Amino acid sequence: MAKVEDEVIEAHVKQLLSRMTLKEKVGQMTQIERQVATSAAIKDLSIGSIFSAPGSLPVEKASPSDWADMVDGFQRSALESRLGIPLIYGTDAVHGNGNVFGATIFPHNVGLGATRDADLARRIGVATALEARACGIHYTFAPCVAVCKDPRWGRCYESYSEDTEIVGKMTSIVSGLQGQPPQGYPKGYPFVAGRNNIIASAKHFVGEGGTEKGVNEGNNISSYDDLERIHMRPYLDCISQGVSTIMVSYNSWNGQRLHGHNFLLTEILKDKLGFRGFVISDWDGIDQLCEPEGSNYRLCISLAINAGIDMVMVPFRYEQFIEELIYLVESGEIPMSRIDDAVERILRVKFVAGLFEHPFTDTSLQDIVGCKMHRDLAREAVRRSLVLLKNGKDPMEPFLPLERKAKRILIAGTHADDLGNQCGGWTATKYGSSGRITIGTTILEAIKKAVGDDTEIIYEKYPSTETLARQDITFAIVAVGEAPYAEGKGDNSKLVIPLNGADIISSVADKIPSLVILISGRPLVLEPWLLEKIDALVAAWLPGTEGDGIADVIFGDHDFEGQLPVTWFKRVEQLPVNAGDNSYDPLYPLGFGLACNKERC
């Protein structure tokens, strides 16, 4: 059956391609940001795809129907073009449909890597796809399948693990997003099961998690064998699941930018690995192919397209891009065969995704955005991602689980009652922000719901001297960690707990028995003197909107299951440090994680 469908789609692709002008082909290769998308441009240029950058919304706090109305409006313009080719609408739904107010926000990938649960990742993919399709969105720039070798990298939390096997296992999210291909489905051929599924994009090809000193968009210095063994293998797992698109990385490999790398994009990805979906650039990624960036735009375009990029994310200056690309083809610098290959791949994905049959939003899905079933799934993901690093100053006297009927509890720290800090980057905006940025439950709110009616909660972000001097507080829960960040703005060579986190922990733990919950996208420095003061320590990563998942575990309703997806270093001077290194001397090794149930600890 799959072979017959494959042949039918290929016939449709060839037939449509034969009717297209060069201008229409180049239009299909162009992806633009919604802010510059006009009906005239979509129709006249046959624009292939539109996307929303994080924070680029129809209206403030836009509802699913607001989103759907906007996307469907763009789609109507596309269908009014000469050939009526539907467009693909994309967004960064990287841990839930984070651009949409009220959507379910799941833990970032590093937290999911701590669960090691491929089926959980798949179910999160299913939920994310539904919440995206409810808003008219066809395409997510996810999953990130980087193998993070250095926590100094600002995208560490977008990686499931430093271990290639774990990352490969968690690529099951692709089958959640797109659906599971049937047995015998053609290898390398894109797959999208139906209207409840979404086009996925494995990213960023390839090697970004292994750049020198963890520098974002930096240089991965390695042999081809190491690049293939460590960083490329998860892409094989994605391709075997029919991933429809692959996004190119900003990084370089041995000094050559990936956006212009014909060997890796064409000879390896397309020819050797057999990938038949389309290859897409990252935001203005082709501009990096000349110095100063974007200065010789025509050269940038020539290098990128000839290297094997099929669709170019050119957010704003799309008219110049189209004009220059047409010139390059007409002058012979880019062969027509390369253009036809790109457009065939784009059309193939559009046919596979059912956009020709069902171009508009299924409005019956709109109530599913942020629904209880999805929030319960996110809550499960949170509790299963938590890694217990310390439990009691004496191993024979565990501190957890906490007593929910305690007389008086102090809740403190910069992250105890801050939903934005809990969610991290790629939530509402690219870099994220602190505060009540969406709908969800903070750690403080979750604890208030979990404790007994007679328990008094004292909440002070920065506890006063008077509060710390009290003798009637049973225990304290201190939540500290990183403020939201993304990409290069998250690169960090020091990795200390920011926002005076260590001082807050120290001041509380000096006076009151304390559980510390660390909210971060990666391991941070834990000095021995600080660790000694702490009674219990939990790595909660960036858990998203469902803080109840933390309360579920610290009060003993569920046991700790999480295992470290990355090595927890002792000192930044050790970095990079990974399991298998000859002089491996971590604070906590890859895979570490205590359990503490009522029978044993």
SS3 399: coil
Strand partners, 245: 201, 278
Beta strands across the sheet bearing 278-280: 201-205, 245-248, 278-280
Strands 88-91 and 139-140: parallel
Strands 201-205 and 245-248: parallel
For helices 336-352 and 297-307, give the axis angle rounded to 10 degrees.
70
> Does 599 participate in catalysis according to the annotation?
no
Q: Which of 167, 152, 151 is nearest to 202 (CA)?
A: 167
* Residues 179, 200 contacting (CB under 8 angstroms): no
Cα gap 410→459, rounded to integer Å: 6
Cα gap 46→32, rounded to integer Å: 12
Which residue in the list 282, 380, 491, 546 is annotated as catalytic?
282
Secondary structure of 171-229 in the HEC alphabet? Answer: CCHHHHHHCCCCCCCCCCCCCCCCCCCCECEEEEECCHHHCHHHCCCCEECCCHHHHHH
Residue holding tokens 């220059």? 324
Instruction: State the DSSP string of 518-580.
Output: EE-SS-----HHHHHH-SEEEEEE---SBTHHHHHHHTTSS------SS-B-S-GGG-S--TT
Strand partners, 341: none
> Does 487 participate in catalysis according to the annotation?
yes
Give helix then strand counts, H and E, for the chain: 21, 17
- Structural tokens at position 322: 């189209």
Which residue in the list 284, 482, 487, 548 is annotated as catalytic?
487
Q: Return the ∠ at Cα 180 (arms to 107 and 102), rounded to 5°.
A: 35
Cα gap 594→83, rounded to integer Å: 60
Query: Annotated active-site positions, please?
Result: 282, 487
